[in-house]
């Protein structure tokens, strides 16, 4: 079944939820253009989420997606935290920052009863999850509101697991994808495969619609994914320069520079593997380090360094999330990009 038939959409395009670089504005623009706009709630408090959802409800009557993380809450480990601070200490000295002052960062919280309470007032067409699924009880609450449930699979095993746990569609996230890997069954990065190897294998294994994600940045990429059996395509990186996104100045500059050709999967910024443009921190400490605190605790250790560097115009300590294909990043309205992405498919 196509994404259009499943949701009553005009175009088979999902704007990927991207926590930290967008709010309701991007979601509204994409939904009104005929795609599925997404609101990432992984870094929003329930109150902020309610405000954003009210804004979406006031500005579109089309389907939209609300996205959550569902990681197990971390166990704070003082020894690990201080070990990581010791690794970062030379950078703190270089920037004349006090390493003992912990900046507050936006908390990345997993899907909760509070979030389910807010969702119940809005009943979005789709609720999508990253890092697996929430408890059966919470999932039942989402379903009771009539929302379709989507989640990311990075392997055939994860797709099978999601099908067995009752999702309505699977987002096949290839290794090219920007941002966090949705992986939840294995920590072994060698299990992660490319989008165009992953889609046909998942399509053959499950009976559900499969959405392709990772490295797809133009109309021919969308058409190729559909030819491999995808029911739709979820695009993230290509939306990062749209005026409706809140992407920072250093992130925008990196995406339009030569540096964007070199990305890597790193755990340094949050504690979980995610793909971003290689910068100084990744070159000097990683990209993968065994000393990093568990997700999402690693983020706070870098917050003041990141803020100071960014105030000097540097992205050396910032997560510059990007997929392997940033060639689709242009400063064009999200509605135009959405229609362009679907153009070959739509003209068939």
Ligand X SMILES: Cc1cc2nc3c(=O)[nH]c(=O)nc-3n(C[C@H](O)[C@H](O)[C@H](O)COP(=O)(O)O)c2cc1C
- Number of Cβ within a 10 Å radius of residue 15: 31
Residue 40 CB, shortest distance to ligand X, in Å, is 4
Q: How far is the CB of 127 from ligand X (least distance, A)?
A: 11
Q: What CA–CA distance (Å, rounded) separates 156 from 77?
A: 33
CB of 337 to ligand X, least distance (A): 12
Query: Which value, to the nearest 10 degrees, does the dihedral of the CA atoms of residues 117, 122, 127, 133 take?
Result: 10
Complex with ligand X: residue 293 or 319, whichever CB lies closer? 319
Per DSSP, the chain holds a count of helices (H) and strands (E) of 14, 11
Whole-angstrom distance, CA of residue 130 vs CA of residue 217:
21
Dist. CA 221–CA 235, nearest whole Å: 10
Residues engaged in binding ligand X (CB under 6 A): 16-19, 21, 40, 42, 67, 130, 152, 173, 176-180, 213-216, 234-237, 321-323, 325
Query: Residue 237 Cβ, how far from ligand X at the closest point, in Å?
Result: 3
Residue 93 CA to its chain's centroid (Å): 32
Which SS3 state, helix, strand or coil, does residue 275 take?
A: strand
Per the document, the length of the chain is 348
Residue with smaller CB distance to ligand X, 17 or 124? 17
Residue (84 or 269) nearer to ligand X, CB: 269
What is the distance between the alpha carbons of residues 297 and 109, in angstroms, rounded to a whole number?
11
Q: How far is the CB of 240 from ligand X (least distance, A)?
A: 6
Q: Which is nearer to ligand X, 41 or 92 (CB)?
A: 41
**Smaller CB separation from ligand X, 252 or 308:** 252
Contact 132, 165 (CB under 8 A): no
130: left (phi over 0), alpha (psi -120 to 50) or beta: beta
CB nearer to ligand X: pick between 12 and 236: 236
- Separation CA 167–CA 65 (nearest Å): 14
**Least Å from the CB of residue 128 to ligand X:** 6
Instruction: Answer whether 158's CB lies under 8 Å from 130's CB.
Output: no
Establish how many alpha carbons lie within 13 A of residue 19's alpha carbon, considering only the half-sphere containing its beta carbon: 23
Q: How is residue 227 written in tokens?
A: 């030819």
Select from 11, 20, 135 the least CA-distant residue to 73.
135
Of 206 and 274, nearer to ligand X (C-beta) is 274
DSSP structure string for 139-164? HHHHHHTT-EEEEEESSHHHHHHHHH
The nearest distance, CB 22 to ligand X, in angstroms, is 8
Closer Cβ to ligand X, 34 or 296, answer by number: 296
Of the two residues 92 and 242, which places its CB atom closer to ligand X in the complex?
242
């Amino acid at each position: 079944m196509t994404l259009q038939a499943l949701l009553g959409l005009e175009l088979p395009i999902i704007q990927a939820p991207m926590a930290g670089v967008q709010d309701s504005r991007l979601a509204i623009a994409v939904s009104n253009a005929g795609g599925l706009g997404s609101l990432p709630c992984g870094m929003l408090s329930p109150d902020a989420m309610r405000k954003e959802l009210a804004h979406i409800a006031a500005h579109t009557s089309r389907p939209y997606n609300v996205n959550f993380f569902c990681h197990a809450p971390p166990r704070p480990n003082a020894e690990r935290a201080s070990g990581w601070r010791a690794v970062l200490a030379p950078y703190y000295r270089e920037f004349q920052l006090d390493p003992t002052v912990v900046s507050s960062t936006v908390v990345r919280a997993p899907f909760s009863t509070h979030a389910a309470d807010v969702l119940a007032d809005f009943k979005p067409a789709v609720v999508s999850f990253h890092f697996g699924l929430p408890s059966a009880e919470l999932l039942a609450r989402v379903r009771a509101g009539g929302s379709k449930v989507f989640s990311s699979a990075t392997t055939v095993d994860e797709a099978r697991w999601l099908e067995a746990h009752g999702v309505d569609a699977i987002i096949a996230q290839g290794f090219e994808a920007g941002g966090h890997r949705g992986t939840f069954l294995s920590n072994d990065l060698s299990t992660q495969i490319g989008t165009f190897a992953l889609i046909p294998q998942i399509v053959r294994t499950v009976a559900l619609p499969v959405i392709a994600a990772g490295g797809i940045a133009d109309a021919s990429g969308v058409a190729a994914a559909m030819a491999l059996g995808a029911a739709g395509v979820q695009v993230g990186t290509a939306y990062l320069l749209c005026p409706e996104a809140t992407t920072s100045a250093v992130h925008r500059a990196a995406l339009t520079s030569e540096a964007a050709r070199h990305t890597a999967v790193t755990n340094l910024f949050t504690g979980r593997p995610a793909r971003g443009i290689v910068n100084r921190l990744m070159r000097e400490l990683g990209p993968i380090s065994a000393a990093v605190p568990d997700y999402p605790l690693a983020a706070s250790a870098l917050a003041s360094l990141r803020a100071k560097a960014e105030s000097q115009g540097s992205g050396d300590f910032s997560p510059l999330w990007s997929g392997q294909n940033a060639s689709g990043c242009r400063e064009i309205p999200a509605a135009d990009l959405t229609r362009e992405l679907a153009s070959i498919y739509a003209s068939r």
